[in-house]
Structure 1
Amino acid sequence: MTVRDDASQTDVRMDDDPRLRPEREAVVGSAGRRRGPGRGERLMVPRAEFRSYYGLPVLNEPTWEAHDIAGYLFLGGLAGASSTLAAAAELTGRPHLARAGKVGAVCALGGSMYALIHDLGRPERFVNMLRVLKVTSPMSVGTWILTVYGPQAGLAALTSVTGRFPRLGRIAALGAALTGPAVATYTAVLVSDTAVPVWHDAHRELPLLFAGSAVASAGALGLLAAPLEETGPARRAVLVGVVTEYAAAKLMERRLGPLVAEPLKRGRGGLLMRLGEALSLTGALVSQTAGRRSRGAAALAGAAVLAGSICVRFGVFQAGMASARDPKYTVEPQRARLGEESHP
């Protein structure tokens, strides 16, 4: 029996007519695929390509402003690492470097708090977060870290500038130094605890990158503010921080893979990341060479490293925002993971 519809070119046959083209042959149980000896599966229809509804993003892009949140990330890291460097300088008999770190820490903390509260919209929102400590919330934990750290950093800076109550000031400086690393890195956990692809998938490397950037910027501030004979710890901080930052960034890009890491290499985020790396590496090199002998070279190196650290923080922020806007950074990695699970 043969039924043929010439208008639609559709054949329905129950015989073995050799004129039936193989690609139109129904294969029971193949779900649209055809197998043959020595050949793999061949799809009878093209694979579906992902397109979001009207090209809209899958995720709601964060409403954060770059100058608020990226500035908050940078200044918080600078504050925390500066307190730790200041305590080390005080314990090793470098009073000018210690004072620069304490004053720089409290100024950076003030700028960081202003940026955070400005983004929140109303100051009372920050106070409201102190009503409870929720250990599963990075924002709640971070708020309490800042609350513990802030008064100690402020007291350390005040006693250093006035010269009064030096023993109390030293205790406060040590307390701020112990809390400083948490202040410098908790923001990495904060941004990683989102659905933004670049930030979420880089949750392993971001704390290390933020820590390196914070240490480098604190050392850079020391190079700018302290006399040349006291800048030894600052130079070492710059070197360790820049190397850590650079290694973490490269490890992050490699582990994220070509697709998810794309915003870190292209667009505004990629430009800022490359510029930040160039400035930081150049500043670190100058600090270890001419910066040992020349006050001007040391200050120039410090300015370059500070600028590089700012660029890196803004670059990470812009890369994350770009990955939230484009649906492919959300869907394609999920599809790849599902494919790996179905073919162990």
Structure 2
Amino acid sequence: MSSYYGRPVLKEPVWKVPDVPAYLYLGGMAGASSSMALLAGLTGRQRLARTGRLAAAVGATASVGALVHDLGRPMRFLNMLRVVKLTSPLSVGSWILAPFSGLAGAAAASDVTGLLPVPGRAAGVVAGVLAPAMTTYTAVLLADTAVPGWHEAYRELPFVFAGSAVASAGAVGMVSAPAESAPARRMAVSGSVLELAASRRMEGRLGLAAEAYRTGRAGMVLRAARAATAVGAGLALLAGRSRAAGIAAGACLTLGSIATRYGVFEAGRETARDPRYVVDPQRERLRERESAGRGEVH
């Protein structure tokens, strides 16, 4: 099919690469790392807890930096904090990212310096409570757009991002705290399974838009992401007996998580460029309504 003058029906997102894919990955990794830090601290694994706090602080700060760089000016990010609008995923997301970044940074600074330990621990607890929202709100932001490849995936995309985030945080824990890495290994394996299962279900339900996830640059990147995630999960099972396996697992899972975010981002942009992904599903829904209407008349 063709559109008027061969132009796209939707305006392609103007978000830049690598800024936005980096923002998606770093925010998810930071959120899951904060959860890891909270649980590790409660179970007496102080080295793993410190690793999680540092990863959460660095990841959240870098995520904000990537977002601000994409926006062009810091004031554009600050302007999003002027109001709280619960019906806007962008507004809610901004109010998740901003306090989480500050709390994660305060918790990490207190841990490293030893200063203000009680407020530092409190900041870490609150950041850990916000962490699940931090790992998934970017999926909601994408799904709330009109881009078919993201909007039609609204049911599964938060699970894909959550699984990817948990796997990437597990990767950090395995590499940085090998002596206390058992919970991190479990995170890596369970996150990988969730990501792969949710991705499979998402592509099976998307219909025409699934084509963008399987072909072209996005398809190639996502196939590499699935392979790296599967290999990383397998190596994570061996990481308890081999330091080299833990490092290799961490590298594969990190690569897989980054590639997943970029692949999803690129697939969505492809469905915005090609009017077929917009018009064909609309025509199909119209035919279904017309058929249903004729059935009711008879």
TM-score (norm 2): 0.96
Alpha-carbon distance in structure 1 between the residues aligned to 2:118 and 2:83:
33
Pair 1:183 & 2:134 matched: yes
Give the alignment partner of residue 237 of structure 1, picking from 187, 207, 213.
187
Match of 1:268 in 2: 217
Alpha-carbon distance in structure 2 between the residues aligned to 1:299 and 1:100:
15
Give the alignment of 1:162-311 within 5 angstroms: 162-227=113-178, 229-257=179-207, 259-289=208-238, 291-311=239-259
TM-superposition CA deviations, 1:268-307 (whole Å, max 9, x none) = 1111111001001101101102x11111211110111010
Shift of 1:99: 0.7
Give the alignment of 1:152-167 within 5 angstroms: 152-167=103-118
Q: CA RMSD in A?
A: 1.0
Shift of 1:172: 1.3
Percent identity of equivalent pairs:
54
TM-superposition CA deviations, 1:196-219 (whole Å, max 9, x none) = 110010011111111111101000
Q: What secondary structure, in the 3-state scheme, does the structure 1 residue paired with 2:173 have?
A: helix
Instruction: Tell me the matched-pair count.
Output: 292
Q: Which runs of 4+ in 1 moved over 4 A?
A: none
**Is the 8 Å Cα contact of residues 80 and 105 (structure 1) preserved in structure 2?**
yes
Match of 1:16 in 2: none
Shift of 1:148: 2.0
Alpha-carbon distance in structure 2 between the residues aligned to 1:127 and 1:285:
42
Q: What secondary structure, in the 3-state scheme, does the structure 2 residue paired with 1:154 have?
A: helix
Give the structure with higher Rg (CA).
1
TM-score (norm 1): 0.83
Q: What secondary structure, in the 3-state scheme, does the structure 2 residue paired with 1:130 have?
A: coil
**Is the 8 Å Cα contact of residues 66 and 317 (structure 1) preserved in structure 2?**
no
Alpha-carbon distance in structure 1 between the residues aligned to 2:14 and 2:102:
30
More helix by share: 2
Give the alignment of 1:326-337 within 5 angstroms: 326-337=274-285
Alpha-carbon distance in structure 2 between the residues aligned to 1:213 and 1:59:
29
Pair 1:63 & 2:14 matched: yes
**Is the 8 Å Cα contact of residues 73 and 313 (structure 1) preserved in structure 2?**
yes
Alpha-carbon distance in structure 2 between the residues aligned to 1:72 and 1:146:
11
Pair 1:79 & 2:41 matched: no
Shift of 1:155: 1.1
TM-superposition CA deviations, 1:111-159 (whole Å, max 9, x none) = 1101111111110111111111111111111111112212211111011
Alpha-carbon distance in structure 2 between the residues aligned to 1:200 and 1:84:
28
More strand by share: 1
Structure 2: segments with no counterpart, 5+ residues: 293-298
Give the alignment of 1:144-159 within 5 angstroms: 144-159=95-110
Task: For CA contacts below 8 A with separation 6 or more, give which structure has more relative contact order.
Answer: 2
**Is the 8 Å Cα contact of residues 188 and 206 (structure 1) preserved in structure 2?**
yes
**Is the 8 Å Cα contact of residues 174 and 250 (structure 2) preserved in structure 1?**
yes
Give the alignment partner of residue 61 of structure 2, picking from 110, 116, 120.
110
Shift of 1:163: 2.2
**Is the 8 Å Cα contact of residues 60 and 100 (structure 2) preserved in structure 1?**
no
Alpha-carbon distance in structure 2 between the residues aligned to 1:339 and 1:161:
62
Letter in 2 for 1:297: A
